[in-house]
Amino acid sequence: MKSLSSLKSLIAKNLAFIILFVLGLLIPQITSDQYILHLLILSFILATLGASWDMLAGYGGLFSFGHQAFYAIGGYASAIICINYGASPWLGLLIGGVFASLASLIISYPVLKLRGPYIALITLAFSLVVFELIIIFRDLTGGPSGLWGIPEFTSLDLGIAKITFGYADRTSYYYLAYVLMIISIVLLKIFVESKYGLRLRIIKESEEVAETLGIDTVKYKLMAVLISTFIAGYIGAFYAHYIQLLSPEVTWVSTMLDIVLATMLGGFVTIYGAVVGSVATIFLKEYLRVLEQWRLVIFGGVLILIVIAAPNGLIKEVIVRVSSLRKRISGKKP
């Protein structure tokens, strides 16, 4: 009985998530519009990135402004190894994650030593270093003109069904992106709700208090960095094998702004928020293409307004407002 009621409360707590999860599963059955599927795949990539950044920045207080660098490292590492060594793109996902985490170790020393804005600055500088390295080692990375001919995912034989990946029908890409996103989000959610996540939040509130409580601050922060960059790395690898072309522009600050915008739209310190925010960001960006250059002007303006008016995230703010309104109304009734 106890397990049943706890299951019930778990479902009730994550109801919105479960509804979205089922909806996500059904979409390729509802529409076969390849363009919509493509946009959703891009949204899932951004959502995974956003969620991993949210864990690092929102829960861990490590305000990385170079998250896109790990995304790029994952993509380039997997692409280069698959092109030069003929490794399977499936292994590439793991390679991407591992390389991104290894790269994060290099920058971890200063990041774990410093606080607040310094972390933003140093990670931003790191992303610029990564950009220049991609330009400099052009024999390997393709340089400014981009890395072409990244192999696509090989077909997967599951015995009962054979899954092939192609542009004509993106359904399998869609489900792969979807699964990767769901795995990442569930893992991140479990991590932040666990005792490790709790300690991470204590460290964010006050490093002194955490140390007094005997929490090894370096260990927990390093754990957060490694998990977050691993996720950014493998989703970068997925992006590389999906688009089959990588350009050094992914390391630009504009990618970071997309991540921030998606997270801020959906809700900061929520993990889930990034999903809703990313779908909104990608679709708005596409459908506002008619506005040409005005699009980015509007985006910049919207982000400024969000930071001013709803610093915890737009949708989260709306939900909080609505639920407090509902409470007030139902409180008045009796």
Partner 1 sequence: MVTLLGTAPPHTSLYFLQISSLSLTTVIQLLVGGIIDGLFYALMGLGFGVILEGMDLYDFAHGAFYMIGGYITYYSINAITADPIIAIILSMAITFLFGCVVDFLTLRPVRKRGREDWVLAGLIILMSLSVLLENLAIIVFGTEYKGVPPYVQGHVTVGDIIIDLQRALSASLSAILILITYVFLKKTKYGRAIRALAQNKELAEISGVNPEILYPIIFGLGACLAAAAGSLLAPVYFISPTIGAFPGLMAFIVVIISGLGSTGGLILGGILLGITSSFVGFLYSNEWAYLVAFAIAIVVITFRPRGLFGVRRE
Q: Which of 14, 110, 186, 286 binds partner 1 (CB under 8 A)?
A: 110
SS3 content of the chain, % helix, strand, coil (to 5): 80, 0, 20
Q: Does 254 bind partner 1 (CB under 8 A)?
A: yes
- What's the sign of the alpha-carbon dihedral 180, 306, 23, 162? negative
CA distance 188 to 318: 24
Two structure tokens written together for 63:
């305000």
Rounded CA separation 108/95 (Å): 19
Contact 55, 227 (CB under 8 A): yes
Binding to partner 1 by residue 126, rule CB under 8 A?
yes
Shortest Å, Cβ 83 to partner 1: 9
Nearer to partner 1, 40 or 150 (CB): 150
Among 27, 140, 202, 222, binds partner 1 (CB under 8 A): 140
Please report how many Cα atoms fall inside a 13 Å half-sphere around the Cα of residue 139, on the Cβ side.
0
Residues 55-84 that bind partner 1 (CB under 8 A): 63, 65, 84
Q: Binding segment for partner 1 among 12-20, 186-194, 215-223, 256-264 (CB under 8 A)?
A: 256-264
Q: Using the rule CB under 8 A, give the single segment among 102-110, 188-196, 237-245, 322-330 that binds partner 1.
A: 102-110
121 binds partner 1 (CB under 8 A): yes
What are the C-alpha distances in Å from 219 to residues 200, 205, 222, 310?
10, 16, 5, 32
Q: Say if CB 228 and CB 119 are below 8 A apart.
A: no
Site membership for partner 1, residue 129 (CB under 8 A): yes
- The pair of three-digit structure tokens given for residue 223, joined into one six-digit string: 């754990």
Rounded to a whole number of angstroms, the minimum distance from the CB of residue 116 to partner 1 is 6
Site mask for partner 1 (CB under 8 A), range 4-43, x = bound: ----------------------------------------
Is 202 near partner 1 (CB under 8 A)? Answer: no
Verify binding: residue 264, partner 1, rule CB under 8 A. yes
User: 246: which strand partners?
Assistant: 147
